[in-house]
Amino acid sequence: MKAVITAAGSGMRLRPLTEHTPKCLLDIGGYTTLGLSMENILAYGIDEFVLVVGFEHNKIREYLKNNYPAAKVEYILNEDYETTNSLYSFWMTRESIKEDSLLLLDGDIIFAKSVVEKVLNCKHENCLSYRNNIEVVEEDMKLIVDENGIVTQISKKIDLGVASGESIAIQKFSTKGVKMLVDAADELVIREKIVDDWYEGAFQRMIDNGAEIGSVAVDQSSCFEIDTFEDMDYAKKYIIPTLFKN
């Protein structure tokens, strides 16, 4: 299994902190989201990484070289990070992952090791994690899960009244699932010329094409996405102390 981390964006909402520093390297209560991701993934024996980088990518390379020299990291440079989104970044990894099962995640998430464990141990070959004990808002990546834990819809456009929760962008795919996901991304990027969208759009296309994606629910305190200054303050005050209280 390989881990793909998308970390190409410039984190505009966190300027001036991200003027010269990638969002995944910002200090959040003594930790970085990239460092936590590496620690939590390496803890489960996954040491092959594909990182999609863009903004200030040399700083990410230097950080990993200095802090995780034993990790096997392949870098893919998305030079169009200002005009594309995670769908395009994921699509760029297609040749590097086509023979592997996959752990896929965004580079701006603080999360507990238990989240990785739940995803990896999910009975479904393809599985994503989501928070089901929160009140979702319009900008969240929302999903609908059926009574068997199968994802039927995933989109930011899902009506708030029917959403099962918020996807937290940590998911796994089997080798067969990776092929279906890459095919779905090809449909969107190559055939339909969609590049400024999230990779969850490929999840939905994969579902529409007949694939099954399961789900695991995780607690709100075990994961948090960093997008704004308010997110950073909340993470420092509530998430980091909870994750590292022992």
Q: What is the CATH number of the domain that holds 79?
A: 3.90.550.10
Query: What length does the chain have?
Result: 246
End-to-end CA distance of the chain: 30
pTM: 0.92
Residue 104 belongs to domain spanning = 2-243
Q: What is the count of structural domains for the chain?
A: 1
Give the rounded percent of residues in the chain with a pLDDT score beyond 70.
Answer: 99
The 10 Å CB-count burial string (b at 16+, else e) for 228-240 is eeebbeebbeebb
pLDDT of 242 reads 83
- Whole-number average pLDDT of the chain: 93
| H or E element that contains 97 | helix 94-97
| H or E element that contains 7 | strand 2-7
For residue 102 the two structure tokens come to: 């996959």
Q: What residues form DSSP beta bridges with 129?
A: 216
pLDDT of 224 reads 87
* Confidence label for 14 from pLDDT (cuts 50, 70 and 90): very high
CA–CA separation, 1 vs 101, rounded Å? 5
Predicted confidence (pLDDT) per residue in 128-172, tens digit = 999 886 777 788 899 999 999 999 999 999 998 899 999 999 999
CA 39 from chain centre, in angstroms, equals 15
Contacts of 245 (CB under 8 A, 6+ apart): none
pLDDT of 25 reads 97
Predicted confidence (pLDDT) per residue in 183-213, tens digit = 999 999 999 999 999 999 999 999 999 999 9
Report helix, strand or coil for 122. coil
**246: pLDDT strictly greater than 70:** no
